[in-house]
Amino acid sequence: MSRFRLPPSIFFVSAAVGLAFCQSLHAQMRSIDFRVLRDPPYCYTFSKKAGPVSGPVVVVPVRPYEGVGSSPLFDGDSGLAAIARAIDARVANWPELRHVAGPALSPAHWPGVTLGDEELATGAPREAGNRRTALAVTSPSRDWKRAMQPLLDQAGAEHYVVISLSLAEVYLRQDWFGRKSLPIGTDYVVPVAWMNDLESTVGVLVLSGALYDRSGKLIRAASEGILAGEPTFWQGVVAKSITGGRGRITTIGEADNPEVVLRTHRRTELPGAPLAWEVALDHLLRHLLQREGV
């Protein structure tokens, strides 16, 4: 009875291929750090000993968030790219920030940040009646961390910031007097009519960011809302009727319209009525760096 034997070289080749595959898989492994936050400002320091950041800080281009927390309502052609370019241009004008192109790697390697319903933000199943908002950060890959080193060296920086733009799903809030509102950012609460359903979410365009040190360790994360869709009474009625009271329907409105976001939506309650996206970016960077004037 003859036996078929594979040449020894086959085993070496197979081992090499398997090792390369495992290394590639490890590079793609992404962890999610998250924190449930009840009220704005939506900011959390993951490294407890971290203080204010001094010196130059590298900032990579703003990207629409494509991770676990992406809303199923997100449309890649919705105009978020135009909003991201405007934010990049504003960041490039700050003297202490070093705007760089970022690593030439696929989106699978990039970190991302989002705010929203805990189930969407973290990928964990939501318990019935558990309306919680979470700030979630998808970690960068090992290759991404390695590629950031020469960029930090060139800028003379020890820290870098990643900013994500996403359409989040945020729950309404209700106080002891029955008044309902939608808190979406620092000193930014959108009033809503009392008949709106608490189980439904509202689509909010959010600007979120994460601060990392040179090693790629997550220091701090924050998120600021720019514009919220306008919830309606019938939204809650439909949600209750088609899901048996257990689901939600999200109102988007003009939250992803670049013309509205970049030119017309303003914080009229603030002096000078500044554009809401500029206020959100200013608050976001102050929270991340913990310093005034950025």
Domain boundaries of the chain, sorted by first residue = 31-289
State the pLDDT at residue 266. Answer: 93
State the pLDDT at residue 61. Answer: 93
The verdict on pTM exceeding 0.85 is no
Lowest mean pLDDT among 49-53, 210-214, 241-245: 241-245
The Cα 196–Cα 198 span in angstroms is 7
pLDDT digits 0-9 by tens, 119-132: 666 666 555 556 67
State the pLDDT at residue 18. Answer: 42
Q: Cα torsion for 15, 17, 23, 26, to the nearest 10°?
A: -100
| pLDDT range class, residue 4, cuts 50, 70, 90 | very low
Token pair 């209700």 in the structure block, residue? 174
Q: What is the H or E stretch that residue 161 is in? A: strand 159-171
* Percent of all residues in the chain with a pLDDT value above 90, rounded to a whole number: 35
| pLDDT range class, residue 75, cuts 50, 70, 90 | very low
Helix and strand numbers (H, E) in the chain are 7, 13
Identity of residue 39: D
State the pLDDT at residue 222. Answer: 95
pLDDT digits 0-9 by tens, 148-198: 999 999 999 999 999 999 888 787 788 888 788 888 999 998 877 776 667
Average confidence (pLDDT) over 271-282: 96
Residue 34 burial (10 A CB sphere; 0-12, 13-18, 19+): buried
Residues 6+ positions from 98 with CB-CB distance below 8 Å: 56, 57, 58, 59, 155, 157
CA separation, residue 71 to residues 4, 8, 86, 98, 206 (Å): 54, 51, 22, 30, 12
The Cα 189–Cα 115 span in angstroms is 15
State the pLDDT at residue 65. Answer: 76
The pair of three-digit structure tokens given for residue 12, joined into one six-digit string: 């070496």
Cα dihedral sign, 164-167-170-172 = positive
The pair of three-digit structure tokens given for residue 207, joined into one six-digit string: 């600007």
* Percent of all residues in the chain with a pLDDT value above 70, rounded to a whole number: 68
pLDDT at 87 over 80: yes
The Cα 174–Cα 183 span in angstroms is 10
Q: Write phi, then psi, for 19 (nearest 5 degrees).
A: -65, -45
Return the SS3 of 51: coil
